[in-house]
């Protein structure tokens, strides 16, 4: 994997994924480091000014009216980080923390925050040493940025708090830094503030979600194709000229995927022609591209917001290009919070339509000749009856997770911070929603592939056959009831890893 270069310009979603998920090495652009030093000189000049400057010679938030003498400013920054590292609850995933740190580093490298170059380097060093600060679930209101999560990261740079090593060992940060030959940073004026004022936690999770959705949207199209095929549905509705009548870009992409996945299918061909009495399929089959495509278009909007945010220099105050140090409100997470909530709605609906397709397989009144619940000996065996319950329960959870976090606000900091974004909360529930969608799609794939086996001697098309073969590497075909949970988990792993998608791509083009 190529190294990721962090300069004064934006990192990309792909950069975030490379560092957070795949451990890519981070390099710092020397020209950008020089610009960091230039802005630092402006902060140091203001530190000696008799006039107070927020975050440099004053307290913070509701305490901004207090002037801090020069001999207490190192303690001021240290106290800020320690007090704001007030998270609670379960440990946040390593990939989320790495994404958060990379994005804070990216902002530091813009030269708009006034930190020293050595402080920026410390973040790169921590990432490259694969030392991940322990960040906990609760603590961010999404304004002023993700304060508590970012403070836990900053605490580790100072040699305090707890980190997790690449091997998963928990160590106090000071010991971990020493093992890797790294020195703790003693923060100077404004640096503590610059390390915690940003939307990096929610933005990092948005970037990771977009990467996950690239796989899940395509997999949803393939799951729908499997279901259309195994339920003896028609592929005629997915014709490109019909999709072009409604020029929604995501819909056309999804329909194209379903159409290509069904191409050359003997199962589909078996019920075409003058004798076919099927005029229209149920909405969950016929309208799959419309629902999946709307989700794709939602993700495209979210990606546009993410890319603008990745180009932002979020801090308060900031050092402007002409040397001014100005307060601002760019740390408010609303732009990111809104699209995180929007994606949770799309994810819930994608899972909802998938579960409806799964349910059709289990009802002999609707599954066109398949046994009840796809059971080997219905009555003695229950088949996949309860797998659908699992999918239904997850869909119900996803509906609750689709309730927006960003419409909530609760005042803090003695009413100085009287409107907040709740973007971190939106990001956390989106991650849970993505896990749920993965599981619901896996249950549909598990169900549809069993149904295809039960259509023998008819055989599925090339793309769906490739998926069926992949599933059969981890789950046996139809037969008497078996312990079902491990089989569901095995297919969940195939969906999450992209193996289902890659199987189809080995045969045909899937977008």
Bond preceding residue 317 cis, omega within 30 of 0: yes
Long-range residue pairs from 162-168, CB within 8 A, at least 24 positions apart, any chain? 162/133, 162/134, 163/126, 163/131, 163/132, 163/133, 163/134, 164/94, 164/131, 164/132, 164/134, 165/130, 165/131, 165/132, 166/23, 166/130, 166/131
Of 175, 201, 32, the residue nearest 103 (C-alpha): 201
Confirm if 47 and 73 have CB atoms less than 8 A apart.
yes
Q: Is 259 helix (H, G, I), strand (E, B) or coil?
A: helix
Of 122, 117, 128, 118, the residue nearest 31 (C-alpha): 117
In sequence order, the β-bridge partners of residue 43 are: none
Rounded to whole angstroms, the Cα distance separating 385 from 374 reads 8
DSSP 370: P
Which residues in 64-99 are b (16+ Cβ under 10 Å) and which e?
A: eeeebeeeebeebbbebbbebbebeeebbebbbbbb
| 120 Ramachandran zone, left/alpha/beta (phi>0; psi -120 to 50) | alpha
Residue 140, both tokens:
């961010």
Q: Is 54 a catalytic residue?
A: yes
From the list 54, 283, 338, 389, the catalytic residue is 54
Residue 152, both tokens:
């836990």
Which residues, in sequence order, are CB contacts of 57 under 8 Å at separation 6+?
A: 46, 47, 49, 67, 68, 70, 73, 189
Q: Which secondary-structure segment (H or E) carries 478?
A: none
Q: Is 391 helix (H, G, I), strand (E, B) or coil?
A: helix
Q: Which residues are catalytic?
A: 54
């Amino acid at each position: 994997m190529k190294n990721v270069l962090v300069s004064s310009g934006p990192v990309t979603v792909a950069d975030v994924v490379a560092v957070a998920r795949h451990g890519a090495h981070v390099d710092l652009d020397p020209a950008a480091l020089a610009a960091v030093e230039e802005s630092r000189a402006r902060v140091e000049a203001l530190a000696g000014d008799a006039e107070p400057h927020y975050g440099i010679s004053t307290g913070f938030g509701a305490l901004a009216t207090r002037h801090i003498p020069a001999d207490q400013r190192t303690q001021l920054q240290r106290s800020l980080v320690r007090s704001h590292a007030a998270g609670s609850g379960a440990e946040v995933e390593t990939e989320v923390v790495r994404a958060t740190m990379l994005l804070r580093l990216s902002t530091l490298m813009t030269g708009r925050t006034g930190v020293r170059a050595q402080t920026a380097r410390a973040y790169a060093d921590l990432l490259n040493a694969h030392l991940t600060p322990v960040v906990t679930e609760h603590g961010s209101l999404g304004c002023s940025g993700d304060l508590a999560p970012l403070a836990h990261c900053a605490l580790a740079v100072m040699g305090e708090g707890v980190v997790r090593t690449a091997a998963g060992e928990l160590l106090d940060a000071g010991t971990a830094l020493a093992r890797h030959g790294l020195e703790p940073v003693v923060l100077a004026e404004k640096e503590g503030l610059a390390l915690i004022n940003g939307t990096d936690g929610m933005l990092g999770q948005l970037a990771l979600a977009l990467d996950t959705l690239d796989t899940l949207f395509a997999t949803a199209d393939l799951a729908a194709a499997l279901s259309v095929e195994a339920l003896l549905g028609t592929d005629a509705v997915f014709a490109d000229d019909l999709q072009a009548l409604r020029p929604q870009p995501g819909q056309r992409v999804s329909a194209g995927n379903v159409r290509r996945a069904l191409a050359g299918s003997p199962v589909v061909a078996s019920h075409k022609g003058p004798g076919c009495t099927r005029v229209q399929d149920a909405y969950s089959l016929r309208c799959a591209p419309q629902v999946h495509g709307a989700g794709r278009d939602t993700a495209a909007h979210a990606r546009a917001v993410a890319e603008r945010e990745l180009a932002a220099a979020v801090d308060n105050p900031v050092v402007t290009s002409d040397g001014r140090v100005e307060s601002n409100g760019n740390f408010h997470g609303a732009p990111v919070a809104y699209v995180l909530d929007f994606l949770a709605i799309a994810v819930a609906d994608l899972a909802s339509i998938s579960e409806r397709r799964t349910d059709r397989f289990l009802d002999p009144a609707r599954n066109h000749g398949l046994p009840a619940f796809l059971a080997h000996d219905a009555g003695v065996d229950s088949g996949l009856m309860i797998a659908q319950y699992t999918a239904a329960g997850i869909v119900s959870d996803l509906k609750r997770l689709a309730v927006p976090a960003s419409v909530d606000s609760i005042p803090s900091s003695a009413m100085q911070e009287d409107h907040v974004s709740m973007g971190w909360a939106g990001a956390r529930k989106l991650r849970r929603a993505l896990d749920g969608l993965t599981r619901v799609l896996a249950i549909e794939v598990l169900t549809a592939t069993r149904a295809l086996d039960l259509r023998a001697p008819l055989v599925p098309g090339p793309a769906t056959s490739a998926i069926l073969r992949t599933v059969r590497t981890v789950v046996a075909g139809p037969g008497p009831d078996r312990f079902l949970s491990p089989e569901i988990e095995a297919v969940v792993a195939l969906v999450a890893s992209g193996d289902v998608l890659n199987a189809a791509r080995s045969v045909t083009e899937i977008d």
